[in-house]
Structure 1
């Protein structure tokens, strides 16, 4: 009986605590304030586990052909660079104002499988600023983005600039080698 009383008291205390946090307005939701370490851990761990769980059923097609990488580069430059930056390109104003800060994808690419990257790009991540590109892009374009993001760790700033120059000069069907 005593255990039930303790559990009941803890449940009431927890409900009151969360009610005060939610309804008092004390909790700061400003994007200019970083998450607390426990909050950052909770959000990061929940996101990682969710992505891994939901990406299990996805099977990546062959990735890395030159045309696919060029397509992925164009979409990355147009839609991702402003928040995530690129080799030799810092994030833009929008990316600098997001909390949590968007990851540098050349580092993040090594932590996620192709299937997990696809799921993230397609569905987005709530409360991070990461949009769900699956509502705007075909699966072919999403996989092109995945292929390009996977190549990011090998792309130098000079390689990235060469890719940008080739796109600007009309070389739409072939991307320069990043290696």
Structure 2
């Protein structure tokens, strides 16, 4: 039995040292301009979700999704988030594919995470992804407005939807406003 335990310990030490050697000798790719392998994408998403579950407070959004708050959320999103996550006019983000992993296009693929999860993500950022922590730049009410917008993109109330259509030429479902030119072809 002692030899078996010694064998397990030696195997673990060899695996750990092998992994460290792999990383420290430069075999682990660090380029941001290549697509992550499927296993890495899955592992990273699993780790982020598990970390959110453990660390993010499960709080209720104190900012109600009123028309005014959603409109302010649209302005804040456009000023702070669109460069990486895509514009509310549904144009792709200019920097999205420069990140590793690529930043998701939120207006075309709205997140389905709970609001507390979105808030924590925006407030604290996500390490090793390029997603910054916004808590030093935006106040909590503004972060909650962005959170509220993201969680209501597919079900905006009529006045907020009209504001969206008037200012961005589309509705969140991607339908272009009548008479608007196709901005994606410019």
Indicate the TM-score class for this superposition, using the shorter chain for normalisation.
0.7 to 0.9
Shift of 1:99: 1.3
Shift of 1:90: 2.8
- After superposition, what is the alpha-carbon deviation per residue over 1:130-161, rounded to whole angstroms, capped at 9, x for unaligned? 11111111111011111111122246x99745
- In structure 2, do the counterparts of structure 1 residues 39 and 70 end up closer, same or farther at CA, with 3 Å as the change threshold? same
**What are structure 1's unaligned runs of at least 5 residues?**
166-179
Other-structure match for 1:172:
none
> TM-score, normalising length from structure 1?
0.80
Other-structure match for 1:124:
125
Shift of 1:79: 1.1
Other-structure match for 2:167:
163
Shift of 1:68: 0.8
Other-structure match for 1:173:
none
Shift of 1:14: 1.3
Other-structure match for 2:149:
148
Other-structure match for 2:3:
2
Aligned length: 163
2:76 matches 1:72: no
- Distance in 2, matches of 1:74 and 1:127, equals 27
- In structure 2, do the counterparts of structure 1 residues 19 and 62 end up closer, same or farther at CA, with 3 Å as the change threshold? closer
- Larger % of helix: which? 1
CA RMSD of aligned residues (A): 2.2
TM superposition outliers: structure 1 runs of 4+ over 3 Å: 157-161
**What are structure 2's unaligned runs of at least 5 residues?**
170-186
> TM-score, normalising length from structure 2?
0.78
Other-structure match for 2:21:
20
Other-structure match for 2:138:
137
Shift of 1:25: 0.8
- Distance in 1, matches of 2:110 and 2:15, equals 35
